[in-house]
Chains A and B, each alone.
Chain A
Amino acid sequence: MTATSEEALAGLPEDRPLPPLGSVGLLRWMWRQLTSMRTALILLFLLAVASVPGSVLPQRGNNPLRVDQWLEENPATGPLLDRLGFFDVYASAWFAAVYLLLFISLIGCVLPRIRVHAKAMRAAPPQAPRRMSRMPTATEFTTDVEPAAVLASAEEYLRSRRWRVRVGETATEDSTWVAAEKGYARETGNLVFHLSLLFVLLAVAVGGLLGWKGNVIVREGSGFSNTLTQYDAWGGGRFVDPAALAPFSFRLDRFAVDFERGDAQRGAPLLFEADVAYREEPTAEPVETTIAVNHPLDVDGAKVFLVGHGYAPRLVVRDSTGAVVFDDTVVFLPQDGNFTSTGVVKVPDSTPSLGLNGLFLPTAALTEELGPHSTFPAPDYPAVFLSAFSGDLGMDEGAPQSVYTLDTSRMTQLGLESLIPGDTWTLPDGAGTVEFTGFERWASFQIAHDPGKELALLASVAAILGLMLSLFVRRRRLWVKVAAADGGGTLVQVAALGRTESADLTDDVAVLADHLGGPAGDRRSAT
């Protein structure tokens, strides 16, 4: 898929003159090359076009909530697009079809070229052309040096500059010549680049089949151990045994956060840091460390990333007799950049059951348009706005419930109240009291294990190196021919042929001619 018409030459035996254009075999071979190249080109376009919808439409892998929202807002087109895989483009059959076809085309092109290149690497440079002056870059001059000495000098010069050299003699005339070729690394790099892409794909596949990824929210003072039940969300490849995850654990001791207070980018986060103590094994001594953005924790083949944070207000609920029926911090999820957060408290142990829908506002404000909301992400003036319900929480039916939503269909609203830390709200109808005692922070972690990433990195580095060789190395041939000049002395002809596009070999020819005693040529390069 990378054959240039010049490089098509590489497929020919190097030690014979080029066959005439009429050769049917050559034409067929070139035709195949050109068609496969054109196919590759079309597939590349298709790949680019097929990638676009995934950047415009929300994707399940990145943002499942927004996909649901999109489907709700577009009942006409949504389901159809969903069936066609437009909300999971990069895992869809048609996207896979494009890149798999591209890789098949790549293999079909690269494998034969490896064979051809292996042969070319061992072949000697082709003999000097009969008429040197017809080469794209050529010069000639006469010198007093003996022909044999000129050739010897040329040979030594070229070998010392790591040209592949062939010394020969034409049968018909009494002139002799030296042929040299250089820049084989171009095709080597080209092949390495394309093969590396295969390994990148392989690495992605390894990561997909053997890797896993989970998310968990941990409150300050709480711990986490790496088992499936502890995760809020977890996904693993086909060959991962979820029961055999690495047995590490950690405890979130402190979560520090700081926000920009200046006018520019006010409220932007400046610092997130989670101080944790982790153990590789349940019996190991805990190790204290800090996890921050860009500073994940590496533990037992997995990486623990800090991805988010929020507030967990502590609420104490007492029933009508004054007995404590709930006393815990509750994770509230931030809804905007100023951490206006929502959460739910379910108290099944009181009679009847109590439920609280709440807002936590780190810097509380109340306006007509926005209602209760937060104006700054730091807890400068924390408050909760609670709405209490009593009735049936629906928790006894066995159906799994989200801890972040309250099903109020069989409950009656008791009232609304806003509280600052230390406030106690006496519920109407003697339903009990709710006390807002304070808040803690929580941090959310993404824990990932990708066994393919080292291979991906290695293959990417190889790809870049290969690419540089294939684009910067110039494949070129040089010839020196000597003959007795008419007026005495030696006629020296130097010619060069670039095997790559727009190779400017003026320098090569001029320097070599100069070295062999010719006049210094015009070394200015064009373009």
Chain B
Amino acid sequence: MTSVQLAQASNAAVYATMVTLALAMVFFAASFASGRRRAPVAAPSAPAVEGVGGTAVITRPPVAVDLPREPGRRAANIAMSLTWLSFATLLVGVVLRGVWAGRAPWGNMYEFSITAALGILGVFLFMSITRDLRWLGLFIVLPTLLTLGMAVTVLYTEAAQLVPALKSYWLVIHVAAAIICAGAFTLAAATAGLSLVRGRAERVQGTLDVAGWTARLPTSERLQVLTNRVVAFSFPLWTFAVVAGAIWAENAWGRYWGWDPKETWAFITWVVFAAYLHARSTAGWRGSRASWIAIAGWLSFLVNYFGVNFFVNSLHSYAGV
């Protein structure tokens, strides 16, 4: 393929992804809507907290929920298939972009963004292999679609060679870790937000067996546990991304830490998620407060990703934004 064909193919793949994702979103939404019309099937939810020995709080592992006749299930299955398809087409788009540029496709904000979208879908689909996450799909597809939309409209740049500061194998290591974290943090924020919504429904209705669209979600307790797992997975990875960035900075700029705005916000994100993990172990903080902290962590990641590049003078502001 010629370079022009490669460029066109990459862009076409990204646009195709947006179409399939939009379809997936419609089907995920339809699945929710059909759940609302009929009475929700009660999920057998075991009491989540049990006192043992007076001091230990043990979470009883909830029974896996499998609801064969669940309304909207077919729509959700179609949506999941479309999400897999979107992941595949986006992967093609990102790879072709790399082939076109002749390097890792992480040279500017457009390329970061399509790869971050791939990261969000990737982490979600990876986690959906071992557990039923169809209820989460809508809340994953939406931010992915927004990211891609922003990439193709505001951030689009033609592929160019890397500026010298980016010519390093640390680009691959540091950015890959950060991109997986982008996906995981988004997932954690989605489950944390849903746990707040679901928790509110549980409080208002006074039962774990809620009516309304939140009936389709797992219990707020389970959502919190899931959020915790995702953060526990991504926090060491984020630490690694920051340390890898520091090693690279030492090699490129002569200092491993210089409080450049990007570094500062990476640090803030790290501290907020550290606070989240501590909150999960602090009485009175484990529930909705911890969920808010997880959302705050994701927001500070977004500030780092978009805010620093657009509004602040930073060493991390590169050509093509």
Contacts and interface: CB of A to CB of B under 8 A. Distances in A.
A21 B279 CA distance: 23
A54 B254 CA distance: 20
Interface residues of A, number: 87
Given A62-B260, A501-B228, A502-B61, A2 B253 contact: no
Contacts, number: 210
Interface in B230-251: 232-233, 235-236, 239-240, 243, 246-248, 250-251
A272 interface: yes
Contact of B283 (A1, A5, A45, A305): A5
B198 to A, nearest CB: 15
A471 B282 CA distance: 16
Contacts of B57: 5-6
Interface in B46-70: 50, 52-65
B319 A268 contact: yes
Contact of A527 (B225, B272, B300): B225
A260 interface: yes
A464 B240 contact: yes
A526 B271 contact: no
Contacts of A468: 236
B251 A296 contact: yes
Contacts of B168: 294
Contacts of B53: 18
A56 B253 CA distance: 21
A527 B130 CA distance: 9
Nearest to A467: B236
Interface in A491-509: 497-499, 501-506
B262 to A, nearest CB: 8
Nearest to A22: B54
A268 B275 contact: no
Nearest to B62: A526
A90 interface: yes
Contacts of B258: 61-62
A38 B282 contact: yes
Contacts of A264: 157-160, 320
Residues of A contacting B: mostly? mixed
Interface stretch (A348-356, A380-388, A452-460, A512-520): A452-460
Contacts of B248: 294
B250 to A, nearest CB: 6
A460 B38 CA distance: 54
Contact of A3 (B50, B157, B260, B281): B281
Nearest to A264: B158
Contact of A34 (B261, B271, B282): B282
A505 B59 CA distance: 11
Nearest to B239: A464
A187 interface: no
B253 A307 contact: yes
Contacts of B65: 526
A243 interface: no
A18 B253 contact: no
A3 B285 CA distance: 13
Interface in B144-162: 157-161
A269 interface: yes
A456 B256 contact: yes
B28 interface: no
B308 interface: yes
B213 interface: no
A145 interface: no
B165 interface: yes
B264 interface: yes
Interface in B272-288: 272, 274-275, 277-283, 285
A2 B54 CA distance: 20
A430 interface: no
Contacts of B272: 44, 48
A296 B254 contact: yes
Nearest to A446: B254
A433 to B, nearest CB: 40
Contacts of A47: 271
Contact of B55 (A8, A137, A450, A461): A8
Interface of A: 1-9, 18, 20-21, 26, 30, 34, 37-38, 40-41, 44-45, 47-48, 51-52, 54-56, 58-59, 61-63, 66, 89-90, 134-137, 204, 213, 260, 262-265, 268-272, 292-294, 296, 303, 305, 307, 446-448, 450, 453, 456-457, 460-461, 463-464, 467-468, 471-472, 497-499, 501-506, 524-527
15 contacts: A2-B281, A38-B282, A59-B259, A213-B254, A260-B160, A265-B319, A265-B320, A270-B163, A294-B170, A294-B248, A446-B253, A497-B58, A498-B59, A503-B59, A526-B63
Given A260-B160, A446-B253, 12 more contacts: A5-B281, A51-B267, A55-B261, A134-B52, A204-B257, A213-B255, A264-B320, A265-B108, A272-B164, A460-B239, A464-B236, A468-B236
Q: Return the 10 tightest CB-CB contacts between A and B, nearest first.
A: A264-B158, A4-B281, A21-B54, A293-B164, A55-B261, A44-B275, A305-B254, A265-B160, A268-B319, A55-B264
